[in-house]
Structure 1
Amino acid sequence: MRVTAETSGRMSVLVPLCVAQFTAADGALAKFKAAGPYSRENVVSEFVKSVASTNMDYAFAKACATGIEAELAKPATKT
Protein backbone atom coordinates (compact mmCIF):
# COMPACT_ATOMS: atom_id res chain seq x y z
CA MET A 1 0.00 0.00 0.00
CA ARG A 2 2.86 2.36 0.77
CA VAL A 3 4.29 1.97 -2.73
CA THR A 4 0.89 2.70 -4.26
CA ALA A 5 0.50 5.81 -2.10
CA GLU A 6 3.99 7.03 -3.01
CA THR A 7 3.33 6.45 -6.71
CA SER A 8 -0.03 8.22 -6.50
CA GLY A 9 1.50 11.17 -4.67
CA ARG A 10 4.34 11.44 -7.15
CA MET A 11 1.93 11.28 -10.08
CA SER A 12 -0.21 14.06 -8.63
CA VAL A 13 2.87 16.30 -8.78
CA LEU A 14 4.32 15.07 -12.07
CA VAL A 15 1.17 14.95 -14.21
CA PRO A 16 0.59 18.74 -14.20
CA LEU A 17 4.27 19.20 -15.12
CA CYS A 18 3.89 16.68 -17.92
CA VAL A 19 0.76 18.44 -19.21
CA ALA A 20 2.56 21.80 -19.21
CA GLN A 21 5.60 20.34 -20.94
CA PHE A 22 3.44 18.59 -23.53
CA THR A 23 1.27 21.61 -24.34
CA ALA A 24 4.38 23.77 -24.78
CA ALA A 25 5.78 21.44 -27.48
CA ASP A 26 5.21 22.57 -31.06
CA GLY A 27 2.54 20.53 -32.80
CA ALA A 28 1.86 18.31 -29.81
CA LEU A 29 -1.76 19.34 -29.22
CA ALA A 30 -2.71 19.01 -32.88
CA LYS A 31 -1.26 15.52 -33.02
CA PHE A 32 -2.93 14.62 -29.70
CA LYS A 33 -6.35 15.80 -30.93
CA ALA A 34 -5.92 13.86 -34.19
CA ALA A 35 -4.91 10.65 -32.41
CA GLY A 36 -7.45 8.03 -31.46
CA PRO A 37 -8.25 7.53 -27.78
CA TYR A 38 -6.15 4.36 -27.63
CA SER A 39 -3.00 5.92 -29.10
CA ARG A 40 -2.80 9.16 -27.14
CA GLU A 41 -0.36 7.66 -24.64
CA ASN A 42 2.01 7.06 -27.56
CA VAL A 43 1.70 10.69 -28.64
CA VAL A 44 2.49 11.84 -25.10
CA SER A 45 5.53 9.53 -24.99
CA GLU A 46 6.69 10.91 -28.34
CA PHE A 47 6.76 14.52 -27.13
CA VAL A 48 7.66 14.06 -23.45
CA LYS A 49 10.51 11.68 -22.66
CA SER A 50 10.87 12.49 -18.96
CA VAL A 51 9.57 14.88 -16.32
CA ALA A 52 11.66 15.85 -13.30
CA SER A 53 14.05 12.93 -13.84
CA THR A 54 11.16 10.46 -14.10
CA ASN A 55 11.19 8.52 -17.34
CA MET A 56 7.96 8.15 -19.24
CA ASP A 57 6.35 4.71 -18.92
CA TYR A 58 2.90 3.55 -19.97
CA ALA A 59 1.17 4.38 -16.66
CA PHE A 60 2.72 7.84 -16.56
CA ALA A 61 1.87 8.50 -20.23
CA LYS A 62 -1.72 7.39 -19.60
CA ALA A 63 -2.03 9.67 -16.56
CA CYS A 64 -0.57 12.56 -18.53
CA ALA A 65 -2.93 11.91 -21.46
CA THR A 66 -5.86 11.98 -19.04
CA GLY A 67 -4.57 15.30 -17.67
CA ILE A 68 -4.28 16.72 -21.18
CA GLU A 69 -7.84 15.61 -21.98
CA ALA A 70 -9.04 17.34 -18.80
CA GLU A 71 -7.24 20.54 -19.81
CA LEU A 72 -8.76 20.45 -23.29
CA ALA A 73 -12.23 19.93 -21.79
CA LYS A 74 -11.99 23.06 -19.62
CA PRO A 75 -13.89 26.00 -21.02
CA ALA A 76 -11.70 28.90 -22.08
CA THR A 77 -11.78 31.69 -19.54
CA LYS A 78 -11.36 35.33 -20.43
CA THR A 79 -9.25 37.53 -18.24
Structure 2
Amino acid sequence: MARRIGVEESLQNVVQALREKGHDVVELKQESDAQGCDCCVVTGGDSNVMGIQNAVTQGSVIEASGLSADEVCQQVESRLQ
Protein backbone atom coordinates (compact mmCIF):
# COMPACT_ATOMS: atom_id res chain seq x y z
CA MET A 1 0.00 0.00 0.00
CA ALA A 2 1.40 3.40 -0.99
CA ARG A 3 1.94 5.82 1.83
CA ARG A 4 2.73 9.53 1.95
CA ILE A 5 6.40 9.94 2.84
CA GLY A 6 8.15 13.26 3.45
CA VAL A 7 11.83 13.39 2.45
CA GLU A 8 14.33 16.24 2.79
CA GLU A 9 15.24 17.83 -0.56
CA SER A 10 18.90 16.79 -0.41
CA LEU A 11 18.04 13.06 -0.33
CA GLN A 12 17.18 12.65 -4.01
CA ASN A 13 18.40 9.04 -4.12
CA VAL A 14 15.93 8.21 -1.33
CA VAL A 15 13.13 10.13 -3.08
CA GLN A 16 13.71 8.09 -6.24
CA ALA A 17 13.92 4.74 -4.40
CA LEU A 18 10.68 5.36 -2.48
CA ARG A 19 8.84 6.46 -5.63
CA GLU A 20 10.01 3.27 -7.38
CA LYS A 21 8.39 1.32 -4.54
CA GLY A 22 5.10 3.12 -5.20
CA HIS A 23 5.08 5.62 -2.33
CA ASP A 24 3.73 9.16 -2.62
CA VAL A 25 6.84 11.22 -1.83
CA VAL A 26 6.68 14.86 -0.73
CA GLU A 27 9.90 16.85 -0.65
CA LEU A 28 10.28 18.64 2.68
CA LYS A 29 11.18 22.25 1.95
CA GLN A 30 9.58 23.71 5.08
CA GLU A 31 8.09 22.29 8.28
CA SER A 32 4.49 22.48 7.09
CA ASP A 33 5.28 20.06 4.24
CA ALA A 34 5.45 17.23 6.81
CA GLN A 35 1.78 17.57 7.74
CA GLY A 36 -0.20 14.53 6.68
CA CYS A 37 2.87 12.37 6.09
CA ASP A 38 2.89 8.82 7.45
CA CYS A 39 6.67 8.98 7.84
CA CYS A 40 9.47 11.54 7.31
CA VAL A 41 13.08 10.98 6.28
CA VAL A 42 15.62 13.62 7.33
CA THR A 43 19.39 13.99 7.04
CA GLY A 44 19.90 14.81 10.69
CA GLY A 45 22.22 17.63 9.64
CA ASP A 46 20.16 20.22 11.49
CA SER A 47 19.20 18.15 14.50
CA ASN A 48 17.56 19.78 17.45
CA VAL A 49 20.51 21.82 18.74
CA MET A 50 18.49 24.08 21.04
CA GLY A 51 16.27 21.39 22.54
CA ILE A 52 13.07 22.81 21.06
CA GLN A 53 10.51 20.25 19.93
CA ASN A 54 7.65 21.27 17.69
CA ALA A 55 5.82 18.19 16.47
CA VAL A 56 4.56 18.77 12.95
CA THR A 57 3.66 15.18 12.12
CA GLN A 58 2.37 12.18 14.04
CA GLY A 59 4.35 9.81 11.78
CA SER A 60 7.76 8.26 12.38
CA VAL A 61 10.91 10.24 11.67
CA ILE A 62 13.88 8.38 10.20
CA GLU A 63 17.36 9.88 10.25
CA ALA A 64 19.09 8.86 7.00
CA SER A 65 22.68 9.75 7.91
CA GLY A 66 24.95 6.77 7.28
CA LEU A 67 22.22 4.74 5.54
CA SER A 68 21.93 3.80 1.86
CA ALA A 69 18.70 4.50 -0.05
CA ASP A 70 17.79 0.80 0.21
CA GLU A 71 18.36 0.80 3.98
CA VAL A 72 16.15 3.89 4.33
CA CYS A 73 13.41 2.16 2.28
CA GLN A 74 13.63 -0.87 4.59
CA GLN A 75 13.34 1.39 7.65
CA VAL A 76 10.31 3.17 6.16
CA GLU A 77 8.54 -0.06 5.27
CA SER A 78 9.21 -1.66 8.67
CA ARG A 79 7.81 1.37 10.51
CA LEU A 80 4.70 1.53 8.36
CA GLN A 81 3.66 -2.07 8.93
Of Structure 1 and Structure 2, the greater strand share is in 2
Tell me the TM-score normalised to structure 1 length: 0.30
More helix by share: 1
Q: Which has the larger radius of gyration?
A: 1
Q: TM-score, normalised by structure 2?
A: 0.30
